[in-house]
A and B are shown apart, each in its own frame.
Chain A
Amino acid sequence: MSSGPSANNSTVLEETTAQPLDATRHGAATREIEEFLRSRIVGQSAAVDAVLEIYQIFLVGLSAPDRPVGNLLFLGPTGSGKTYVIEVLAEALFGNPHAFIKVDCAEFQEHHEIAKLIGSPPGYIGHMHTQPILTQEALTRWHTEKLKLTLLLFDEVEKASESLWQLMLGILDKASLTLGDNTHVDLSQCIIFMTSNVGAPEMSRLAEGGLGFALQAPIEDANLDEKIARTATEAARRKFSPEFMNRLDKVVVFNTLRPDQLEHILELELEKVQRRIAGAVGQNHFTFRCTPGIKQWLLREGTDPKYGARHLKRVIEKNIVYGLANLVATGQVKGGDCVSIGIRADGGLTFAKIAATAREESAAA
């Protein structure tokens, strides 16, 4: 029997009536989250893309059954923003950057410490007294009527003990966990994040800018990010077992942050402080501005070749926030005031109240 002509006709018909579709487009709900993530996460678009892809699949109900919604491994040097991405996602989804469960794998290096996660079995010391971290109640704590999703982070996964690895392999594969008291926990509504800095020294050598940050002029190499990604992934494959790597939906390598990106991060952090002041104090709050000099100083003090931008928030808190609070405590700053923060040649910080007219001129400029 010849099927040639009729099959060809049907193909022609399909092609002429088919409407082209764009499988990369996101729905409205995902676009809203995307906008939030991209406005707050600097220089890590691969991480944002990976998170959005998984979230979109979850929203339309196409996540694989009996598996977590997604298993993501974040690789990159300390201070490159791995945990921060999860905090921003938690804020975008639940309005709270702390709305996720964090398991610090370094705390579970001994076999018996696993009881902190799943509770002690009956008959063991601590049974009934050890409240497990990974209970069904804990997983559903941040669920809302509209969004039944949990973000679960295994931080510094390379430090996990053998027992924790076994437990994690079960979670990543079957989305299930049995607690010490034999209760079953369902993790099929979870996005599992794992962070690790394996391969960080090799990545750093490639970037030649120190660990995590290109403090010196970045190398002129269009393929640098690609090379770094390959190096990190290879290091992960050497460190982690194939069983683990095969269970991952995506491995994301965090980029080395460039000086302009660090400046952008600083601006975001300062905006956050301003929002905090407005949120804490209410309508009659005061505002502050930082001179270019103090911004450079904050970048120098807050970014570190070893720990990346990890200390930036701390430096802002200790120098800007505490300083402003002391001005309020001594009645030097009141609601409606605008404070300019600068730096003297000797490195001391200066705080000055800007008069209304100067403020208008400065805003207009």
Chain B
Amino acid sequence: MKTILVVDDNEMLCCLACDILRTEGYRAVPATNAAEALRAFEEEEFDLLVTAFQMPGMSGLELARAVRNRSPRFPVIVMTGFEPVECEHVTLWLPKQYLFPNLLEKIRYCLAGAEQESEKTLG
């Protein structure tokens, strides 16, 4: 079972998104800020990060950068209500107004890409 860390300061959205992901068969862990997310990364292994762009304190992009510093190819999806910006640490951007079902499709895409990547590395 793939484990996804979902980070959003909108607690309701964070919990609801995790609930939907669990229904889809993923293990979803919620975090309501970047510091909490980084602590979660210390404690367990994740297959994917889904984070909000704007959050109080550390932003989603800063979180993506911190995660990629540890694991350069780690898949990161950033959800935003604004225009996406150029950032090498983001695998995919997702507009919040069309979150579902698009998020599920993007997750499948990212996880499949990560699997291919790991097969190449092993091969």
Question: Chain A residues near B69 (CB, 8 Å)?
Answer: none
Which of A277, A322, A326 is close to B97, meaning CB atoms less than 8 Å apart? A326
A328 in contact (CB, < 8 A): yes
B4 in contact (CB, < 8 A): no
Question: Chain B residues near A7 (CB, 8 Å)?
Answer: none
Question: Chain B residues near A324 (CB, 8 Å)?
Answer: 16
Contact (Cβ within 8 A) A281 B15: yes
Q: A317-B23, A321-B20 are in contact. Are A326 and B15 (CB under 8 A)?
A: no
Cα A286 to Cα B79 with chains together (Å): 22
B19 in contact (CB, < 8 A): yes
- Please choose the segment from A132-140, A213-221, A329-337 that sits at the chain B interface, where 4 or more of its residues have CB less than 8 A away: A329-337
A-side interface residues, number (CB < 8 Å) = 23
- Please choose the segment from B34-42, B60-68, B82-90, B98-106 that sits at the chain A interface, where 4 or more of its residues have CB less than 8 A away: B98-106
Cα A173 to Cα B19 with chains together (Å): 41
Cα A10 to Cα B17 with chains together (Å): 73
Measured as residues with beta carbon below 8 angstroms from the partner, the interface class of chain B is 10 to 19
Dominant secondary structure at the B interface: helix
A230 in contact (CB, < 8 A): no
Q: Contact flags (1/0) for B20-61 with A, using CB distance below 8 Å? A: 100100000000000000000000000000000000000000
* Minimum CB distance partner of A333 in chain B: B12
Contact (Cβ within 8 A) B16 A325: yes
Contact (Cβ within 8 A) B20 A330: no
Question: Chain B residues near A277 (CB, 8 Å)?
Answer: 16, 19
Contact (Cβ within 8 A) A280 B15: yes
Contact (Cβ within 8 A) B15 A322: no
Question: Chain B residues near A326 (CB, 8 Å)?
Answer: 97-100
Q: A322-B20, A322-B101 are in contact. Are A329 and B15 (CB under 8 A)?
A: no
Cα A334 to Cα B15 with chains together (Å): 13
Contact (Cβ within 8 A) B99 A329: yes
Cα A156 to Cα B100 with chains together (Å): 33
* Minimum CB distance partner of A332 in chain B: B97
Question: Chain A residues near B100 (CB, 8 Å)?
Answer: 321-323, 325-326
Q: A317-B23, A325-B17 are in contact. Are A281 and B98 (CB under 8 A)?
A: no
* Minimum CB distance partner of A285 in chain B: B12
Q: Contact flags (1/0) for A249-290 with B, using CB distance below 8 Å? A: 000000000000000000000000000110111101110000
B113 in contact (CB, < 8 A): no
Q: A329-B79, A335-B12 are in contact. Are A280 and B98 (CB under 8 A)?
A: no
Contact (Cβ within 8 A) B101 A318: yes
Distance in Å: Cβ of A237 to nearest Cβ of chain B: 37
Contact (Cβ within 8 A) A280 B18: yes
Contact (Cβ within 8 A) A328 B23: no
Question: Chain A residues near B112 (CB, 8 Å)?
Answer: none
| 5 closest residue pairs by CB, A with B | A322-B100, A280-B19, A280-B15, A329-B96, A329-B99
Residues of B participating in the A interface, judged by any CB pair closer than 8 Å: 10-13, 15-20, 23, 79, 81, 96-101
Given contacts A280-B18, A335-B12, 11 further A-B contacts (CB under 8 A): A280-B16, A281-B12, A282-B11, A282-B15, A286-B12, A322-B20, A322-B100, A322-B101, A325-B16, A326-B97, A331-B10
CB<8 Å pairs between A and B, sample of 29: A276-B19, A280-B15, A280-B18, A280-B19, A281-B11, A281-B12, A281-B15, A282-B11, A286-B12, A318-B101, A321-B20, A321-B100, A322-B20, A323-B100, A324-B16, A325-B13, A325-B20, A325-B99, A325-B100, A326-B98, A326-B99, A328-B10, A328-B12, A328-B16, A329-B13, A329-B79, A329-B97, A330-B97, A335-B12
